[in-house]
A = this chain, B = another copy of it.
């Protein structure tokens, strides 16, 4: 440890979190070495990243032929390696899972199975298969480190604390693009409006999930698995300014919060440098006196039914969270394509959850089957309604 160079595998390196991870790596040179990079389909950016960081291992999911050939011919001196294999490479100390959707699931299981520290930014991994990932991490003494600003906040508040003293986790959320809209207005909001998040610059799917508040439900499920806290001890509070990133209450009534100007590079850096903190000239300084005030409110479950549906799926457990997440993905796609309204998203999820028979303690295969089933069922239902 100490000042030794840590090897990184970054899965999803061309996405928002992946790119910011590489910014942090640049800032903290020479503390980290990029051993492996994997991306979805942005091979142009992946090639640039490979040139700058010279990883030993490289991979892309789609449109990969071009880069694959360059590695095969030695023009790019990296070995073409699937994600599940690259995460277990002996030079990798920390795996950053910044993929989107279920793409991160198998690589995360492989990484914790190899005892690697995993910096987890892919929500669906724990939502779909938290029970499997946490059990596998425990079995191999692998460290799960959250990258989400909310979970990083909770994690930092727990440093030096005993998790069995947690009385309550309070997840904060900005409230998304539509926090001030009436139910009537929500009937008519457009995809363009949904994509204007008040605080964070993120991908399309997660920005819509922020607008429906489903995102906070996914985060509650993640918090449940990451910190071993039952759902009745997890609350959601809306906080417009996104300065307090989340809070933990302990059994004696003391509450800790982690806060700061919104900047994803901080939680990414925390996950990379843990258990140390490293100085950075980067963050904008929080000036509470100039800020003036921080506002809080209860989420309105009537205007944002997706939050209740996601929490309910989490409480029911088994394959329900996977079904909920898959139905949401289908619904958001159709909303962004203009096929359904914003409020229809909840209807798709609710219908799909109602139709699912339920599987208790599902295996990986059963989770993936539930995901496939839910996508198909939601598509069929939408087609039947259209």
Residues on A facing B (Cβ under 8 Å):
156-162, 165, 167, 170, 237-239, 244, 247, 249-261, 263, 266, 269-270, 273, 276-280, 282-283, 285-286, 288-298
Contact = CB atoms under 8 A, between A and B. Distances in A.
A289 B279 contact: no
Contact of A156 (B256, B288, B293): B256
Contact of A257 (B158, B162, B259, B276): B259
Contact of A295 (B162, B252, B279, B292): B292
A166 to B, nearest CB: 10
A159 B244 CA distance: 19
Nearest to A294: B294
Given A250-B277, A294-B294, 12 more contacts: A156-B256, A160-B161, A170-B288, A237-B288, A244-B257, A249-B286, A253-B260, A253-B266, A253-B285, A256-B256, A293-B295, A293-B296
Contacts of A259: 247, 255-257
A291 B288 CA distance: 18
Contacts of A170: 288
Contact of A251 (B277, B290, B292): B277
Given A160-B160, A255-B259, A237 B289 contact: yes
Contacts of A282: 253
A254 B297 contact: no
A9 B269 CA distance: 45
Nearest to A283: B253
Contacts of A247: 259, 288
A159 B167 CA distance: 18
A355 to B, nearest CB: 33
A286 B255 contact: yes
A282 to B, nearest CB: 7
A293 B293 contact: yes
A230 to B, nearest CB: 16
B162 A160 contact: no
* 4 nearest CB pairs, A to B: A160-B160, A253-B283, A159-B160, A289-B298
A288 B239 contact: yes
A1 to B, nearest CB: 13
Nearest to A284: B253
B238 A252 contact: no
Contacts of A276: 162
A283 to B, nearest CB: 3
B256 A263 contact: no
A258 B258 contact: no
A59 B270 CA distance: 51
Contact of A289 (B288, B294, B296): B296
A79 B285 CA distance: 56
Contact of A298 (B160, B258, B290): B290
A292 B288 contact: no
A266 B249 CA distance: 12
14 contacts: A156-B254, A160-B160, A162-B277, A237-B289, A238-B289, A252-B269, A252-B280, A253-B261, A254-B258, A256-B256, A257-B257, A290-B298, A292-B297, A293-B293
Contacts of A292: 295-297
A160 B250 CA distance: 15
A289 B244 CA distance: 13
A254 B263 CA distance: 10
Nearest to A166: B277
Contacts of A283: 252-253
